[in-house]
Amino acid sequence: MADLELARHVVALALEAGATQADATATVTEKFSVEARGGEVEKLEQSVGRSLVLRAFVSGAKASLSTTDLSPDGLRDFVRETVDAARFVAQDPHGGLPEFVAYDASEDVTLGLYEDDVRTRAAEQKIADAVAIERAIRSQDARIVNSSGSHVVDSIATVSLANSHGFAGSYRTSSAMLATSPIAADGDAKRIGSYGTAARSYARTFDVATIAQRAVARAVGGIGARKPATMRVPVIFERDVAALVLGDLFTAINAASVAVGNSFLVDRVGERVGSDLATIVDDGRLPGGLGTSPFDSEGVPTRRTVVFERGTLRTFLYDTYYARRLGAASTGNAAGGGIGPNNFYLLPGTGSLEALIAATARGVLVTDTIGFATESVTGTYSRGARGFAIENGELAYPIEEFTIAGNLAEMLAAIDGVANDLIFDQSIVSPSFRVAEMTVSGT
């Protein structure tokens, strides 16, 4: 049974079992993963998985279950259990499927969801790449004494969704990732530096030499790090760390957080929160983006949503349930039973990270953060960090064992420089950016 036909069949079974509404998502995922360490293959995995998720509504009450047993008897039992579970859940006036929207598959070709080189690339070549990265990091610098492994991972997934309102759609995606984490000796201490690349195809990832070079630079760059003095200075977030800051911000603009008051942005739509440089977008239709898809997990078409426009909060991000609850419309951000990002990012600037550093007389470049200490209700932000001291527009020396602290709203308002180094290698990404002043707690 084809996957879309399977989804339709399960929806029909759910209605027969007493559901008033239902949707079903069938997913087939092919995965390949290799890990090399010390120039040898340590782990090799290849698999094909097939699963089904059913959401059944009984007069506003919802239950959602998943299964990998797709036999006729298994499906009947699974559907019955899901519908029965819904009968024991409290009814919710906001529950139910989205309104029907016809799906036009002809637009999918412009989204760049699938590249065939993920399927056609020989397993031997993928293994050779992992081993080559591992050998390259060790040959580039004598201070590299070990690694946490070099990885090549890819996947091909087919997602098929049908619901009782008549929606039916299916799409296929691909992704490829290469990464490594070399370890450098620093006296009795060890410095680890990680770097990775990901895209819809192998052709769009960085080559082995570039990956190894950048990872080694991160590892050896921390040698001799010391604790800085406590100060109030400009802080530059390197792009990988900047993406983590945006991840904290996503929690605050997630309508599920807003609905329960767990966000410092409650009641602030239309208000200027950030600087002119803070334009933040969620784009589910970005060609080739790793968060791109034609529709979300409920069948709502994805879209480009401007969340912050030159610092002004324009909207939260919604699925169908929280859109109804808050009197809005879905933004196509339903994901796995919750609200998730598509391609969520800060618009890049025009200058390089190096130019941003050169324009900073005294400050800190943060290249890594440790721990988790963001309070969504107030926006309080605090992280342990590693990076570099900036003096006279240059990286002066590596620093560690310090804390950066501030408030997300104040940080957005104080963004005074954005670099042009944005790379779409995950669903939440950011260029490097500078916050005019933050507290750096050290000695």
Over residues 187-231, the pLDDT tens digits come to: 988 999 999 999 999 999 999 999 999 999 999 999 999 999 999
pLDDT at 249 > cutoff 60: yes
Helix (H) or strand (E) holding 25: strand 21-37
- Check pLDDT > 80 for residue 84: yes
Cα–Cα distance measured from residue 418 to residue 239, given in angstroms and rounded to the nearest whole number: 10
Report which DSSP code applies to 377. Answer: T
Give the separation between CA 435 and CA 255, rounded to whole angstroms. 26
pLDDT of residue 104: 79
Residues 296-347 have pLDDT tens digits of 999 999 999 999 999 999 999 999 999 999 999 999 999 988 999 999 999 9
* Residue 113 phi, psi dihedral angles, 5° rounding: -75, -30
Beta strands 21-37 and 40-58: pairing type? Answer: antiparallel
Please report, for the chain, the start and end positions of each structural domain, with discontinuous segments joined by +: 3-221, 225-443
At 188 the pLDDT is 87
From the options 3.30.70.20, 3.10.129.10, 3.30.2290.10, 3.40.50.300, give the CATH code of 3-221: 3.30.2290.10
8 Å CB contact between 37 and 134: yes
* 3-class secondary-structure state, position 345: strand
Structure confidence by residue, pLDDT tens digits, 278-287: 999 999 999 9
Q: What pLDDT does 103 receive?
A: 80
**DSSP readout, 346-371?**
EPP-SB-HHHHHHT-SEEEEEEEEES
Q: pLDDT (tens digit, 9 = 90+) per residue, 9-46?
A: 999 999 999 999 999 999 999 999 999 998 899 999 99
What distance in Å separates the CA atoms of residue 222 and residue 217, rounded to the nearest whole number? 9
Q: 166-184 pLDDT, tens per residue?
A: 999 999 999 999 999 999 9
- pLDDT of 265 above 70: yes
pLDDT computed for residue 1 by the predictor: 56
- Residue-averaged pLDDT of the chain: 95
Nearest to 293 by CA among 439, 151, 112, 417: 112
- Which residue(s) pair with 388 in the sheet? 365, 398
Residue 270 has pLDDT above 60, yes or no: yes
- For 407, residues 6+ apart whose C-beta sits below 8 A from its C-beta are 264, 378, 379, 380, 381
Percent of the chain residues topping a pLDDT of 90? 93
Would strands 231-237 and 362-370 be described as parallel, antiparallel, or unpaired? parallel
Q: What is the token pair recorded at 287?
A: 């060609």
Cα Rg of the chain, angstroms: 24
Q: Are strands 344-346 and 428-429 parallel, antiparallel or unpaired?
A: parallel
Cα–Cα distance for residue pair 278/308, rounded to 1 Å: 7
Provide the pLDDT for residue 336: 87
pLDDT above 90 (res 239): yes
Determine the residue type at 436. A
Model confidence at 60, in pLDDT bands (50, 70, 90)? confident
Interval 349-381: pLDDT, tens: 999 999 999 999 999 999 999 887 788 899 999
* Nearest alpha carbon to residue 216 among 235, 192, 249, 245: 192
